[in-house]
A and B are shown apart, each in its own frame.
Chain A
Amino acid sequence: QKEVEQNSGPLSVPEGAIASLNCTYSDRVSQSFFWYRQYSGKSPELIMSIYSNGDKEDGRFTAQLNKASQYVSLLIRDSQPSDSATYLCAVNSGGYQKVTFGTGTKLQVIP
């Protein structure tokens, strides 16, 4: 069983719409959750981190965490073509600072 699961996509949304990216994790004791954006050929860039249940907003991005359901999501409002990338969900588990990544969801924002 994969530790961090994501739908690989691609997820296509029209420009201006809300993109919703989902992630589930298996380790119940996980405490830290992250969303990274990775453009093709580039390394991941941290977008959001979330540590407690509920929503966390930063600009057009909102991360949502539900530890009871072992579920974390990322909402991107007013999606732009420049948001087209692969989004990686990451969970801190299995040891100090060790982060496990999902396989990523490819997002395509259609102009």
Chain B
Amino acid sequence: GAVVSQHPSRVICKSGTSVKIECRSLDFQATTMFWYRQFPKQSLMLMATSNEGSKATYEQGVEKDKFLINHASLTLSTLTVTSAHPEDSSFYICSAHEYRNTEAFFGQGTRLTVV
């Protein structure tokens, strides 16, 4: 299957700071990437759809000014958690699809802890 790389795998930051998470498709081009958040023992919650060259589409209830998404190239999308608070601590996962393929391949995930 396709390879999606996410970095960093784990990050600890102080309240009020910003954290950037990168998601790269290594062996294919991804016009669309998805960002999810997962709290312990809960399912994946779609946060936003990242579209190359255009604005991201956010799900209802997700603050676009807090979770900044940039999809500047066909292989890279970034999620920046701005002014992080302890309640933003979670497991963030990206996924990507090959062109016209509905199978989603996931990055390794990023465990964010805000202290």
Choose the segment among B11-19, B42-50, B70-78, B80-88 that binds chain A (4+ C-beta atoms closer than 8 Å). Answer: B42-50
Assembled-state Cα–Cα distance A31/B101 (Å): 12
- CB of B109 within 8 A of CB of A46, answer no
- CB of A101 within 8 A of CB of B102, answer no
Interface size class of A (residues with CB under 8 A): 20 to 34
Shortest beta-carbon distance from A15 to chain B in Å? 25
Assembled-state Cα–Cα distance A103/B45 (Å): 10
- CB of A97 within 8 A of CB of B43, answer no
B32 adjacent to chain A (CB < 8 Å): yes
Residues of A within 8 A of B101 (CB): 97
Residues of A within 8 A of B106 (CB): 36, 43-46
Check A32/B105 contact, CB under 8 A, given A43-B93, A96-B32, A103-B42: no
Residues of A within 8 A of B113 (CB): none
- CB of A97 within 8 A of CB of B102, answer yes
Residues of B within 8 A of A80 (CB): none
Assembled-state Cα–Cα distance A49/B46 (Å): 20
Residues of A within 8 A of B95 (CB): 99
- CB of B109 within 8 A of CB of A43, answer yes
Q: Which of B44, B49, B95, B105 has the most CB of A within 10 A?
A: B44
Q: Could you name 10 residue pairs across A and B whose Cβ atoms are closer than 8 Å?
A: A32-B102, A34-B104, A36-B106, A44-B106, A46-B106, A97-B97, A97-B101, A97-B104, A99-B104, A103-B43
- A contact residues vs B (CB 8 Å cutoff): 31-32, 34, 36, 41-46, 49, 88, 90, 92, 96-104
- A42-B108, A88-B43 given. 14 additional CB < 8 A pairs? A32-B103, A43-B93, A44-B44, A44-B106, A45-B106, A49-B102, A49-B103, A97-B32, A98-B34, A98-B46, A98-B49, A100-B46, A103-B42, A103-B43
